[in-house]
Amino acid sequence: MCALQSAASLPCSIARSTISDQQTDQQTDQHVQSGIHYHELGQLEKATHCFRLASKEGCPIGMFLYGISLRHGWGCKSNTSLAFQYLQTAAEHAVKDLLHGDEYELASKDELIMAIYELGVSFQQGWGVTKSKETAFYYFEIAANLGDCDAMNDLAFCYVHGHGVKKNIYKAAHYYRLAAKQGQGQIGNSWIWKEKYDMVDNPNWDK
């Protein structure tokens, strides 16, 4: 799972000011790493249990991974409403971490992007929340502009089909190209490389 692989390299927090807090952070990080390890082994109940423990300790990554587990019923009973709440809280916590300063940014940015993208998926699919193409587009756009390739592809799809936004084939080509350049191109999208769309590679093309 892409989210698990990305989260594996992210600490739940940066070093705190007290030994007690540092010990708690280490324990929380261990819950996340253990959960990822169990997930890779296919022991989903143990994995989800670890993610739940991390989420209870206020770890945004733990909340995110527990929310994803709840959504898909990995090692637990599927609960899309509760999953949405955890995903939303994970994104909110990540934003707060980013606001603390530069030392938090590296640890929180990828987690923030994943949580925002998955909120978009929730609105797109109606998982735990009323389906809304417009709101899904909103979250996809934020995540795409923060560098998430899945969000880029989904955002481009929205522009192609007019899902939550007015159709714009040039903007679709722009985001499809961005994703492709990062190794996440879509099969059957050779049209985006036609010369007439080359203008979208100019940083100021839509200004």
42 and 136 within one domain: no
pLDDT at 11: 46
pLDDT at 177 > cutoff 70: yes
> Average of pLDDT values for 69-76?
96
> Which of 172, 15, 27 has its CA nearest to residue 107?
15
pTM of the entire predicted model: 0.80
157 and 98 within one domain: no
83 and 143 within one domain: no
31 and 97 within one domain: yes
Amino acid symbol at 193 = W
101 and 149 within one domain: no
pLDDT at 15: 33
Confidence tier at 1 by pLDDT (50, 70, 90): very low
pLDDT at 192 > cutoff 80: yes
SS (H, E, C) the chain: CHHHHHHCCCCCCCCCCCHHHHHHHHHHHHHHHHHHHHHHCCCHHHHHHHHHHHHHCCCHHHHHHHHHHHHHCCCCCCCHHHHHHHHHHHHHHHHHHHHCCHHHHHHHHHHHHHHHHHHHHHHHHCCCCCCCHHHHHHHHHHHHHCCCHHHHHHHHHHHHHCCCCCCCHHHHHHHHHHHHHCCCCCCCCHHHHCHHHHHHHCCCCCC
**Domain of residue 54, residue span:** 1-108
159 and 96 within one domain: no
Q: Is residue 126 part of a domain?
A: no
- pLDDT (tens digit, 9 = 90+) per residue, 118-163? 999 999 999 999 999 999 999 999 999 989 999 999 999 999 999 9
77 and 9 within one domain: yes
Position with higher pLDDT, 183 vs 201: 183
104 and 4 within one domain: yes
The structural domain count of the chain equals 2
pLDDT at 19: 35
Confidence tier at 202 by pLDDT (50, 70, 90): confident
pLDDT at 146: 86
14 and 97 within one domain: yes
181 and 143 within one domain: yes
- pLDDT (tens digit, 9 = 90+) per residue, 39-52? 999 999 999 999 99
Using the 3D structure, point to which of 93, 108, 123 is the last residue of a domain.
108
6 and 96 within one domain: yes
81 and 169 within one domain: no
pLDDT at 58: 87
Distance CA 91, CA 89 (A): 5
In this prediction, what percent of the chain has a pLDDT beyond 70? 81
pLDDT at 45: 97
